[in-house]
Structure 1
Amino acid sequence: MSTDTIFGKIIRKEIPANILYEDDLCLAFSDINPQAPTHLLVIPKKPIPALTAVEAADKELLGHMLLIVNQLAEQVGMAESGYRVVINTGNDGGQTVFHLHMHLLGGRSLQWPPG
């Protein structure tokens, strides 16, 4: 499995994306294949292939990403009505890009179970 992904190319600005947030640790942008009216991705700039590859040293990064998810939900008007945060892990978990990422979904009532 390649360590470089489409997300690495977005981080390096080799591929355009609708970026809504960026700092030294992470980047957030609109998903090109939205599964809800609002579908954003929050990715770490550190290339972590999947949740299973997270180490103890990454706990501040993951916490930071969740704070950014909340900030984005507020920014796009979903904080009060609600939203879903998803991390797909591995093939059976539906992960298609092997760079850790959080999906922020909302803008409509989301059903359970999801898939």
Structure 2
Amino acid sequence: MDECIFCKIASHSIPAYVVSENDEVMAFADINPATKGHILVIPKSHATNLFDIEEASFIKVLSLAKRIARVMPEVLGCSGINLFHSAGKIAWQEVMHFHLHIVPRYRREELQRPFVSTPANKTELKEIALRLSRKLSNK
């Protein structure tokens, strides 16, 4: 993907503050961090989002994210971690190359939740769970 900025980073065509990499995955500092130490983890081969990343590649990205997250409290002094992925523009995905955000969380920070949780209708929850369960059983 010639226009994909993360593909350019993965191929070392443009610079990045690389934390870790191997032949298949790479982790680097987000240049517009939500908090100090915000890291992105990507597959080196292009996949747009969760819907089209290969299972093996996804597992490798997740494994590297876990390794990085485990050392963040000691290295950065954070008290917690947010790990997230946005799939599609409606879900705030800005770069159309699969990536996981590892966002260190610190006491007394101003970072806000991206959504407000509200109590759900139990009938609706039951229906959603049943529909998803049926679809998964058919696969």
TM bin, normalised by shorter chain, reads 0.7 to 0.9
Q: Is the 8 A contact 2:65 2:102 kept in 1?
A: yes
- Any residues of structure 2 matched to 1:85-100 within 5 Å, and which? 85-100=83-98
Q: Is the 8 A contact 1:37 1:106 kept in 2?
A: yes
Task: Note the residue ranges of structure 2 that are not aligned, 5 or more in a row.
Answer: 116-139
Q: Cα distance 1:3–1:14, how it changes in 2: closer, same or farther (>3 A)?
A: closer
1:69 aligns with 2:65: yes
Alpha-carbon RMSD across the aligned residues, in angstroms, is: 2.3
Indicate the structure whose relative CO is greater, using CA pairs within 8 Å and at least 6 residues apart: 1
| Amino acid paired to 1:103 | H
- Any residues of structure 2 matched to 1:1-115 within 5 Å, and which? 4-54=3-53, 58-77=54-73, 81-109=79-107, 113-115=113-115
Larger radius of gyration: 2
Task: Note the residue ranges of structure 1 that are not aligned, 5 or more in a row.
Answer: none
| Amino acid paired to 1:68 | L
Alignment correspondent of 2:125? none
Instruction: Tell me the TM-score normalized by structure 1.
Output: 0.83
Number of equivalences: 111
| Amino acid paired to 2:67 | Q
> What is the distance in 2 between the residues matched to 1:6 and 1:78?
31
> What is the distance in 1 between the residues matched to 2:70 and 2:8?
27
Q: Kindly, what percent of the aligned residue pairs are identical?
A: 30
